[in-house]
Amino acid sequence: MPNKPLSKGKERFIEELGERGLIETIVNKFNANANRRIVTVGAGEDDCAVIDVDNARGGRKYLVVTTDTVQESTHLPKGISPFQIGWTAAAVNLSDIAAMGAHPFAFTVAMGVPARTKSAFVEEVVEGIEKCASAYHTAVVGGDITRSKEVILTGTCFGFADRPVRRAGAGIGNLVCVTGSLGDAALGINLIKRDTEIKVPVKVEEIAKKALFQPMPRIREGIALADSGLVTSMIDISDGLALSLAELAKSSGVGFEIYEDKVPVLSKELRNAEAFDLSSIGVERRALAFYGGDYELLFTIDASGLERISEMINMSVIGKVTPHEAGIYFKKGKEKEKMELTGYQHF
Amino acid sequence: MPNKPLSKGKERFIEELGERGLIETIVNKFNANANRRIVTVGAGEDDCAVIDVDNARGGRKYLVVTTDTVQESTHLPKGISPFQIGWTAAAVNLSDIAAMGAHPFAFTVAMGVPARTKSAFVEEVVEGIEKCASAYHTAVVGGDITRSKEVILTGTCFGFADRPVRRAGAGIGNLVCVTGSLGDAALGINLIKRDTEIKVPVKVEEIAKKALFQPMPRIREGIALADSGLVTSMIDISDGLALSLAELAKSSGVGFEIYEDKVPVLSKELRNAEAFDLSSIGVERRALAFYGGDYELLFTIDASGLERISEMINMSVIGKVTPHEAGIYFKKGKEKEKMELTGYQHF
């Protein structure tokens, strides 16, 4: 196939370009920013990418790896842009790297797109992948594109860590904490699902949708937590806080008491944008906090480390680790209420 | 979701099981054979898999990475079994690792399957992935499963190499070589496409279909070639010999003269199975040799290394490296014929 440059103006379909022409354009974008001391052979330059291990690892002992897929029919909310689809494919994987407290360094992506996709669409997806990866100092070292029935992107992300933080390790009496705030993305989902009924200030809608469409994985926070040596367990909150609590409890063999009013709901940015009342739009605070998808980190620490950690990162204490038998419950004064452990599942 | 064991007898659909139950079953299979000195945290055991770099690398300098997808609508031939679908998803990636002359050690796979897929189907796919990976001493360290419109499997494979063999490097006068033989898989495709018309001996059909459905990546051969230090360039033949020659010529900035009758067409196993005449079934020898997909390696060597290499691996010399300007052509005595550079493309 001739390697014609893709032209947005012409709005060509990818089936006219041929696989090889398309790949050439994509790999040029991916390789533009690669650090050649680390990425000896980049995306599309050979059968495999080649990475200089010692230059990449910075002396760290462990390679961490994760793979995650986003696709049209189940993962992509209505109204998301091609750029944001690409961004999300990188972000969901980086979030898993963050949850281990690892330094990401490389990413590969396999894209399936219908044959009658505009080449401009693919270019924008690729731009989103590249921008998210490079925002976290991660090189896109491999790509694959095939024709499929729907848009489907599988990313695989690699990092290095000296002390990868596990889901197991929470000790009874530890504090339960989250980074940032929860619920902006879940509010975004609510606004999309019922957008003809709900009226919220434009600025609120903008922020909520951006949180949903273009999540920011907590790489810096994950690394700071791991390096501190004060964190006893960690997981990311991709399918909702309730399910992440359930996973952490299971892996660590503990229970949790959670103080619902300590959970930071909605970002300061969103709350400051304009005053509005959640109940007026039929959205429950608890649903946003516990049953929506976010890309924050849930972690446990020894109480003695709280001061140091709260100086390093933006975080909140939301509960305490209890014995396993106690289960997971909301605690308010002397009252206890069992937490419903549901969230987003693909099947 | 409750973690019920999958039961083949009951033929349940995966949508009834829930994502978490399904993943539990899959990761148990993947982790059963993992070497725990290398795979500290296995598939599904945490947000990421964790690999002890020094135990995995065996002193080798470079990490090599590749990603490749197989899916129902474009890659999977009619009649392939679920086990073979899984096997193929691992094999296509391992073949890229082989083409660098690297030692594979880890594999991740993201599976998309329609909601109304039988759980036995998924189990057999997983079995095929695991069996192929472990046949090549490779641990499946990560998995992801989502609902999609068709069966789609994206694999990512990692290896280590001291001297990764590039596509660039062929020198004028070098010998052009291939491992094994070509065309069994292409014959399989022919038999499937026109199976009502073509009559071939049962044994021939069996061997051809097995080559197509369950390819054997040339890991051992790739490593031997790389370690020999005698190979100057290498690529795998996944989209046909003609296209692989074109890629190698482009990367190395050379041309090739190819002796068509030196290309080993059909395996000895197949040829010995029963005598039959290709032309009687309307299949051209050239089409099998140059325009079908195989998982052999195409490589170039300095002529002085031929004796050593032909003692190490099963290979054939099929041509010579010429200046770039000469292009790629068939040579027979004094006659020259330009090679048509087509093959399998996804778009």
State in Å, rounded, how far the first CA of chain B is from the last one. Answer: 40
* Per-residue pLDDT at A276: 74
pTM, two decimals, is: 0.91
The pair phi, psi for residue B22, each rounded to 5°, is -65, -45
pLDDT digits (tens, 9 = 90+) for B78-105: 899 999 999 999 999 999 999 999 999 9
Question: How far is A259 from chain B, CA to nearest CA, in Å?
Answer: 25
Inter-chain CB proximity B345 and A74 less than 8 Å: no
Q: Which residues pair with A322 in a beta bridge?
A: A255
Is this complex scored with an ipTM above 0.85? yes
Using DSSP's 3-state secondary structure scheme, residue A300 falls into strand
Based on DSSP, count helices (H) and strands (E) in chain A, helices before strands.
13, 13
* Per-residue pLDDT at A2: 31
Inter-chain CB proximity A236 and B22 less than 8 Å: no
- For residues B246 and B147, the model is more confident at B246
pLDDT digits (tens, 9 = 90+) for A254-269: 999 999 999 999 999 9
Number of other residues whose CB lies within 10 A of the CB of residue B18: 17
Q: What is the DSSP string of B273-291?
A: H----GGGGT--HHHHHHS
What are the C-alpha distances in Å from B281 to residues B194, B206, B209?
10, 16, 16
Residues of chain B with Cβ-Cβ distance to A17 below 8 Å are 347
Residues of chain B with Cβ-Cβ distance to A147 below 8 Å are 73-74, 346-347
Question: How far is A55 from chain B, CA to nearest CA, in Å?
Answer: 10
| Of residues B258, B264, B266, the one with CA closest to residue B319 | B258
- Report the residue count for chain B: 347
pLDDT digits (tens, 9 = 90+) for A214-223: 999 999 999 9
* Per-residue pLDDT at A292: 84
Q: How confident is the model at residue B20 (pLDDT cuts 50, 70, 90)?
A: low
The pair phi, psi for residue A124, each rounded to 5°, is -70, -35
Distance CA B303, CA B320 (A): 10
Inter-chain CB proximity A48 and B66 less than 8 Å: yes
Structural domains of chain A, ranges and CATH numbers in brackets: 14-161 (3.30.1330.10), 175-338 (3.90.650.10)
Q: What is the CA radius of gyration of chain A?
A: 21
Q: What is the DSSP string of A117-157?
A: -BHHHHHHHHHHHHHHHHHTT-EEEEEEEEE-SS-EEEEEE
- Counting Cβ atoms within 10 Å, is residue A244 exposed (0-12), middle (13-18) or buried (19+)? buried
Q: Which residues pair with B156 in a beta bridge?
A: B67, B108
The whole-chain average pLDDT of chain B stands at 89
Q: What is the DSSP string of B97-151?
A: HHHTT-EEEEEEEEEEE-TT-BHHHHHHHHHHHHHHHHHTT-EEEEEEEEE-SS-
Question: How far is A303 from chain B, CA to nearest CA, in Å?
Answer: 24
Inter-chain CB proximity A148 and B74 less than 8 Å: yes
Using DSSP's 3-state secondary structure scheme, residue A346 falls into coil
Q: Give the Cα-Cα-Cα angle B27, B31, B35 (nearest 5 degrees).
A: 160
- Counting Cβ atoms within 10 Å, is residue A37 exposed (0-12), middle (13-18) or buried (19+)? exposed
Three-state SS sequence of B17-64: HCHHHHHHHHHHHHHCCCCCCCEEECCCCCCCEEEEHHHHHCCCCEEE
- Counting Cβ atoms within 10 Å, is residue B229 exposed (0-12), middle (13-18) or buried (19+)? exposed
Inter-chain CB proximity B48 and A22 less than 8 Å: no
Distance CA A68, CA A91 (A): 10
* Per-residue pLDDT at A282: 78
